[in-house]
Amino acid sequence: MPGGVVTLADITSADWSMKLDTPGAPGSGLGQVVQGVDDVNQCIAIILTTPKGTDPLRPGFGTEVWNFIDAPISEAGPAIVREVTQSITQFEPRVKVLSVKSTPLLDTEPAGAQVEITISWQLDLGNMPTPARSTRVTIGGTGRAA
């Protein structure tokens, strides 16, 4: 599967989607899929990097974290944590959010204001315990997520 085109016979999970390109590497996801936990991880990143109102078929999908990028750190941190937690809870029912950490990236010239968001989460399988996992997304700067 790595490096080649994926066929239906290669997909072994009920949870899968097309792999997105790696930032700065156009075409890197072409013909690839993500499955299982990797699919959930990618879906969380998609939720966090989609501004609300930009998906024409789901105008409420995504987050409004961009509204807080230029706010004072004491206000932005809690607002970003709240926004991220609400968005993931609403749009990714397969997970339980354990924690959200927002870290301003101060030395990002010339890209502009950026914030790194780290989400700790578990698959929500009812009463069955699952290992904690983590997703990290950088938002801001040129207006694109990294």
Q: Give CA–CA dist 134/116, Å, rounded.
A: 13
| Burial state string for 29-53 with b = 16 or more CB within 10 A and e = fewer than 16 | eeebbbbebebbbbbbbbbbbbbbe
At residue 108 the predicted structure's pLDDT band, cuts being 50, 70 and 90, is low
Tokens at 146, concatenated: 């990294």
Q: Give CA–CA dist 18/123, Å, rounded.
A: 20
- Whether 121 shows a pLDDT value over 80: the answer reads yes
Domains of the chain: 1-35 (no CATH), 37-140 (3.10.450.40)
- Whether 128 shows a pLDDT value over 50: the answer reads yes
Which residues make Cβ contacts (< 8 Å) with residue 54, sequence separation at least 6? 62
What is the pLDDT at residue 146? 43
- Whether 114 shows a pLDDT value over 80: the answer reads yes
What is the pLDDT at residue 143? 45
> Closest Cα partner for 20 from 29, 10, 11, 12?
29
Instruction: Measure CA 92 to chain center.
Output: 10
Q: What is the pLDDT of residues 27-81, one digit of tens each?
A: 666 667 777 888 899 999 999 999 999 999 999 999 999 888 878 888 888 999 9
pTM, 2 dp: 0.78
Query: Averaged over 79-96, what is the pLDDT?
Result: 94
